[in-house]
C-alpha cells in the first residue's frame, strides 16, 4: 500500500524510531506520521475475459502447414500447422507457434 505526503505528494517511507515504534516519513519535507495501528488495504479486482491472442478458432486455418509425423504414441497425425510472429524487437528472431 502506498501512502503519500499531504504536503508535497511524495511517497512516504517506513522508518524506525528507536526499536519500539515505526513511522511514515517523507524524504523531501519534514512531514512525519507515527504508526500506531496496523495499516493494510485490500482490493478485489475484476477479472477480464481472456482474449484469444491468435485471433480465434479460425486463425489456424490460414497457418502454414508442413508434413511431420506426430511424436505422440498412437497418433496418426501427419501434418503440423505453424505461424511466425515478431513479438520482440527486430534484432531478435521471430517466435514460431506450432499446432
Known binding-site positions for Zn(2+): 5, 8, 26, 29, 70, 75
Separation between Cα atoms, residue 89 and residue 3, nearest integer Å: 37
Query: Residues 30, 44: contact at Cβ < 8 Å?
Result: no
**DSSP-assigned letters across all residues of 56-83:** SGGGGGGSEEEE----STT----EEEEE
Annotated binding-site residues read 5, 8, 26, 29, 70, 75
Amino acid at each position: 500500500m502506498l501512502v503519500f505526503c499531504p504536503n508535497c505528494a511524495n511517497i512516504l517511507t517506513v522508518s524506525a524510531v528507536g526499536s519500539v515504534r515505526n513511522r511514515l516519513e517523507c524524504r523531501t519535507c519534514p512531514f512525519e506520521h507515527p504508526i500506531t495501528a496496523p495499516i493494510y488495504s485490500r482490493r478485489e479486482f475484476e477479472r477480464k475475459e481472456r482474449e484469444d491472442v491468435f485471433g480465434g478458432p479460425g486463425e489456424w486455418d490460414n497457418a502454414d502447414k508442413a508434413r511431420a509425423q506426430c511424436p505422440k504414441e498412437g497418433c496418426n497425425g501427419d501434418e503440423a500447422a505453424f505461424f511466425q510472429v515478431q513479438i520482440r524487437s527486430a534484432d531478435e528472431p521471430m517466435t514460431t507457434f506450432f499446432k
